[in-house]
Amino acid sequence: MVLVCETPDDTVADVADGSTILVGGFGMAGMPVDLIDALIRQGAGDLTVVSNNAGNGDTGLAALLAKGRVRKMICSFPRQSDSWVFDGLYRSGRIELEVVPQGNLAERIRAAGAGIGAFFTPTGAGTPLADGKETRDIDGRTYVLEYPIKGDVALVGAYRADRAGNLVYRKTARNFGPVMATAATTVVAQVTEIVEAGLIDPENVVTPGIYVDRVVVP
Amino acid sequence: MTRTTDEIAAAVAADIPPGAFVNLGIGQPTTVAEHLPAGSGVVLHTENGMLGMGPAAYGDQVDPDLTNAGKLPVTQLPGASYFHHADSFAMMRGGHLDVCVLGAFQVSTSGDLANWHTDAPQSIPAVGGAMDLAIGAKQVFVMMSLFTNDGTPKLVPACTYPLTGIGCVNRVYTDLATFDIGPDGLTVRDTFGTTVDELRKRLGIPMHRAALPST
């Protein structure tokens, strides 16, 4: 049953030190900035953060990194023109980095949400990102064994929720949201509005409410 | 005359079949879209989760929820669709994209691609969707200069930079020539301001001459 929270702070009050946090968004599109700000105020540290990028500018994920709360980043593309916060931490050895090809990142999260124990993917075969990983030749092609990435908490930015916890997204801000929403123990969605159950056409629901634990309009 | 970057992009666009589903990589490959003829029916895929991507957005069109893989604002065309990341990469990995166009640091004569990391000290590795694209699309086109600024060949017997994918590149468009990479090795399709013999000498790699006339 989804809990409609009053404030972003209510949604993350119980996040523990050492948690793995899945953070939606591709750049700033779909980035749940208000939930991250609440997590900064809440104070949990020693976090592992899973997100496509490693923060842009000085807000959102970059602000969490700047506070020194993140021990490890798992992402596909940390280095960007405005990723100076991460760049500084990485170059001074104050943060761990696991680089994962973008499709493998999405699929590893999807696998966690779908109860898949591991999967073989052709992406990355023969490259440094497959070093030390188990491989198998199937039908003449080499595949790499990849394991799921499960979160303790997922923070996603969606467009609209209903009181049953169903979510819809907007344009390319959808990106990692629907996948991450399946793959964490506690799933929090930041939305622009929460409507009565029935006001989102069931044919159009992208994330069914079964996956969603808490929603908030910041 | 050697080809300009714009002419390379036009050459790539001319080789994309009408109605194809295509992903254009970040940077110069993005400019291929400007050379697709009106009514080509080519559908652009952007890996952050959209088919039917339109041109760059300006002014009132800019919507922070609608960006391309380079995180720049874009528009949507009639018939567009949105989908999440796992679906976006499933359609890539699953072989549903007809063509992807990528830049490269190096391509080997057997089609290995290096385009994500230079291994330079202090550089931060960042791969994005490059490895998924390299092995996913039915045809992988690379556009690049044939030599670095200091004259080092980028089409090489074996890549020295970290690999993005093995044996994945089908065609390389450069300022000096276009090359096909196939089971028979390297074939020169056309040359610009140079000759096949000169290319053999400068690159030091074996290559066939295509049956087509050079321009």
Give the per-residue pLDDT at A161: 98
Instruction: List chain A residues with CB under 8 Å of B76.
Output: 171
Q: How confident is the model at residue B122 (pLDDT cuts 50, 70, 90)?
A: confident
- The pLDDT tens digits of the residues spanning A75-93 come to 999 988 899 999 999 999 9
The CATH number, out of the four listed (3.40.50.460, 3.40.1080.10, 3.20.20.80, 1.10.3720.10), of the domain defined by the range B5-209: 3.40.1080.10
Distance CA(A34)–CA(A12), nearest Å, equals 11
The chain B residues in contact with chain A (CB within 8 A) are: 46-50, 63-67, 71, 76, 82-86, 88-90, 92-93, 117, 122-132, 135-136, 162-166
Which domain does A24 fall in, by range? Answer: 3-116+149-216
Assess if residue A138 is contained within a domain: no
Instruction: List chain B residues with CB under 8 Å of A105.
Output: 85
Mutation pick from B118, B132, B161, B163 vs chain A, by most beta carbons of A within 10 Å, is B132
Amino acid identity, position A155: L
Contact B91, B52 (CB under 8 A): no
**DSSP letter, residue A204:** G
- The pLDDT tens digits of the residues spanning B178-204 come to 999 999 999 999 999 999 999 999 999
Contact A66, A119 (CB under 8 A): no
Q: How many domains does chain A have?
A: 1
Residue B99 has pLDDT above 60, yes or no: yes
The CATH number assigned to the domain holding A104 equals 3.40.1080.10
Distance CA(B162)–CA(A78), nearest Å, equals 17
Question: Are residues B93 and A123, on separate chains, in Cβ contact within 8 Å?
Answer: yes
Nearest to A192 by CA among A162, A164, A213, A171: A162
- The pLDDT tens digits of the residues spanning A42-68 come to 999 999 999 999 999 999 999 999 999
Query: How many CB pairs below 8 A link A and B?
Result: 143
Q: How confident is the model at residue A1 (pLDDT cuts 50, 70, 90)?
A: confident
Instruction: List chain A residues with CB under 8 Å of B163.
Output: 126-128
Assess if residue A191 is contained within a domain: yes
Write the secondary structure of chain B as one string of H (helix), E (strand) and C (coil).
Answer: CCCCHHHHHHHHHHCCCCCCEEEECCCHHHHHHHHCCCCCCCEEEECCCEEEEEEECCHHHCCCCCECCCCCEEEEEEEEEECCHHHHHHHHHCCCCCEEEECCCEEECCCCEECCCCCCCCCCCCCCCHHHHHHHCCEEEEECCCECCCCCECEECCCCCCCCECCCCCEEECCCEEEEEECCEEEEEEECCCCHHHHHHHHCCCCEECCCCCC
Assess if residue A137 is contained within a domain: no
Mean pLDDT of B59-86: 96
Question: Are residues B127 and A101, on separate chains, in Cβ contact within 8 Å?
Answer: yes
Kindly provide the ipTM of the predicted complex, given to two decimals. 0.95
Q: How confident is the model at residue B213 (pLDDT cuts 50, 70, 90)?
A: low
Reply yes or no on whether B47 is catalytic: yes
Instruction: List chain A residues with CB under 8 Å of B84.
Output: 106, 174-179, 206
CA distance to partner chain A, nearest, from residue B9 (Å): 25
Assess if residue A125 is contained within a domain: no
- The pLDDT tens digits of the residues spanning B13-54 come to 999 999 999 999 998 999 999 999 989 999 999 999 999 999
Residue B158 has pLDDT above 70, yes or no: yes
- The pLDDT tens digits of the residues spanning B128-138 come to 999 999 999 99
Nearest neighbour of B66 by CB, restricted to A104, A172, A206: A172
